[in-house]
Chains A and B, each alone.
Chain A
Amino acid sequence: MIAKNRAPNPGKRVTVVALVAAALLLGGCHRPKKYESTVEITRLSVVRQDETGAPTTTDVEFSYVECPGTQTEVVRGGKDFATCVGQKLKVGSRAKVKVLHRWDPEGFYNYDVFEVEGCPRPPDPNDEASYKIVRECADWTVNGSKVGFQCNYQNKKDVNKACPWFKSH
């Protein structure tokens, strides 16, 4: 058989390249990404204990020291996490946390803390006690006088720039 010597079709190539690029872009834009940051521990509370008094559930509250604005986060972890953070963390100390920035099926980006100072903390989708308050506040002025404040929960430009895992859209 003799192969036909076809002339290259530049339009077709451009279309294929564009489609592949679009597919890669669509596949990549929702790809989860890991980050690491430093936090200051503001509260350590044992929520549940077993019969021997060993902690089985612990809340760790912290704020991100490297991020502007106000970020208060409470993560609750199980027995292994409770034992680990009980040995490693103290209120007022600084710790390294690892977060996973991911696409949430609810239609926005979200993140989970999955490690605190080397203590693994697998996020439980049924955990309703863990929560985070991420906002950027500024004075609210009228006629040049400060009369209050406004805290943005969405349009947090400075926070999102310094700490991209806080991006939700």
Chain B
Amino acid sequence: MQTRDGRPEKPRLRRRIDKVQLLGLVVLVLVVLFAFASKVSAQQGGGSKGVGAAAAAKLKAGVKADAKAEADAKAEADAGAEHAAAPAEHAGGGGSHEAKEDEKEDPVEQLATAVLVDPKKGGVPIHKEGPYRSPFATPNTPVVHARVGFLLETVEEFDIKKGAFTAHFYVTLTSDRPMPPKIDLKPTNGKIDEKDVLADLPTFKMWKMAGTFHIKPDLHAYPFDTQELDIELEDDSNGQDTLSLETDVERSFLDSGFSVPGWDTSFVRARILSHFYPDRFDDDDLYYSRYMFTLGVKRFATSAVFTVFVPALVIVMISLSGLWFPRDELEVRSNATTPMLAAAVLFHFALMQELPATAYLSRADKLMMGVYGCLFLHMLSSWIWFVFDEKKTDVIFRWAKYICAPLTFIIMAVGILA
């Protein structure tokens, strides 16, 4: 080939990736590795928490386990219990004081009417009469149906990463006939920090409680997720043969002006669960009424769009604009894409920091997968110049736009709607 003035044109040298860009790429890879390592380690940490509970579960169902396995499981469970008890004692003297008071209490009255039929068969006394054989059953006593009223006053400190929140609420029990004298509603998914008895009459009982409760967040739809904040209460001293709880829609409300900061109130739900424990001993057949109040809160959609979707789309749009730079402007073209990959990784990392580890992809994760896919496509459209002959530079430049631009919109649409 010749130049316009007739001199032979010097062959164009291929541009090499300079050291700064190479360093940038290395840093980028390290950031990606670090992000995924954090995610993986967080998941492993979550998994290890279940070991103690599994051991305890084995201990409960340990009828068929041999003595050695039982002893091992007991040792594990005891160790777990010690670990669990330690923070509770540190949390406040009130909790441990209550526990000591409970220990001093008389054993359950129902045990007095139970008889030991066959000492060789486990040594657990049973009730021969009535529908339940459990030593904690109360035969020959009519069931009292108590309606549960619930007023949720406040919900504070909702931490979705820990899956914990504190709540202040009123609980009332009303019945047509006298209820069992000793009713003690205890949370099954948290702990009560304050409990004031406001009324303790045979047919009307009322408490004001404040406590911390735990939930398992559902993040499939994040950032358009609805979280269910559960408050579960159960009286484990009265089985369903004595006290049967019933929900009362006319007496279950949110307090006036109720709101959870950062969340929109969606619904309230109350239900009674007839709870059956896995066999803790022989003839452990008694059901217990568990009251479950659920507050549904939804993330504000506008906030979700502007904090998650808009930044992701901006990153992709800036990267997409790089496709219109020709090969002569390769540095500009690369700078429109590569830094966006770093921005995307950091943005995704920041999003993950707010959430607990999950075994599934949330909507935001799928969106970010789409962003990574688009950025990879845009980078590929530049790299491909170094694979093919320079004669095809213009063809590649043109077709990269024709193919990558529509593909970007398709990938992002799939990422948003998936």
Q: Is A35 an interface residue (CB 8 A)?
A: no
**B interface SS class:** strand
Residues of A within 8 Å of B292, CB to CB, are 148
Closest-CB distance, B114 to chain A (whole angstroms)? 30
Q: Are B298 and A147 in contact (CB under 8 A)?
A: no
Residues of B within 8 Å of A49, CB to CB, are none
Q: Are A153 and B268 in contact (CB under 8 A)?
A: yes
Q: Which residue of B lies closest to A107 (CB)?
A: B302
Question: Given A107-B302, A154-B264, A154-B298: A149 and B269 within 8 A (CB)?
Answer: yes
List A residues at the B interface (Cβ < 8 Å).
74, 107, 128, 131, 133, 135, 137, 140, 142, 147-155
Q: Are A151 and B249 in contact (CB under 8 A)?
A: yes
Question: Given A107-B300, A137-B249, A148-B247: A155 and B256 within 8 A (CB)?
Answer: no
Q: Are A153 and B257 in contact (CB under 8 A)?
A: no
Q: Which residue of A lies closest to B264 (CB)?
A: A154
A148 to B264, CA, bound (A): 23
* Contact-size category for B: 20 to 34
Q: Is B253 an interface residue (CB 8 A)?
A: yes
Q: Is B272 an interface residue (CB 8 A)?
A: yes
Closest-CB distance, A72 to chain B (whole angstroms)? 9
Q: Which residue of A lies closest to B273 (CB)?
A: A147
Closest-CB distance, A125 to chain B (whole angstroms)? 14
A99 to B234, CA, bound (A): 43
7 contacts between A and B (CB under 8 A): A135-B268, A147-B273, A148-B271, A149-B249, A151-B249, A154-B264, A154-B266
Q: Is B270 an interface residue (CB 8 A)?
A: yes
How many residue-residue contacts, CB under 8 A, span A and B?
53
**A interface SS class:** strand
Residues of A within 8 Å of B298, CB to CB, are 154
A142 to B266, CA, bound (A): 21
Q: Is B96 an interface residue (CB 8 A)?
A: no
- Across chains A and B, which 7 residue pairs bring their CB atoms closest together, nearest first? A148-B271, A131-B256, A150-B269, A148-B247, A149-B249, A147-B271, A152-B267
Residues of B within 8 Å of A128, CB to CB, are 257
Q: Is B265 an interface residue (CB 8 A)?
A: yes
Closest-CB distance, A99 to chain B (whole angstroms)? 18
Q: Are B247 and A149 in contact (CB under 8 A)?
A: yes
Q: Which of A140, A147, A152 contacts B266 (CB 8 A)?
A: A152
Residues of A within 8 Å of B272, CB to CB, are 147-148
A118 to B226, CA, bound (A): 42
Residues of B within 8 Å of A140, CB to CB, are 269-271
Residues of A within 8 Å of B254, CB to CB, are 133, 153
Q: Are A131 and B257 in contact (CB under 8 A)?
A: yes
**Further contacts, 18 of them, CB under 8 A, given A131-B256, A149-B247, A151-B249:** A74-B256, A107-B302, A133-B253, A133-B256, A140-B270, A147-B271, A147-B272, A148-B272, A149-B249, A149-B269, A149-B271, A150-B267, A151-B252, A151-B268, A151-B269, A153-B267, A154-B298, A155-B267
A142 to B247, CA, bound (A): 14
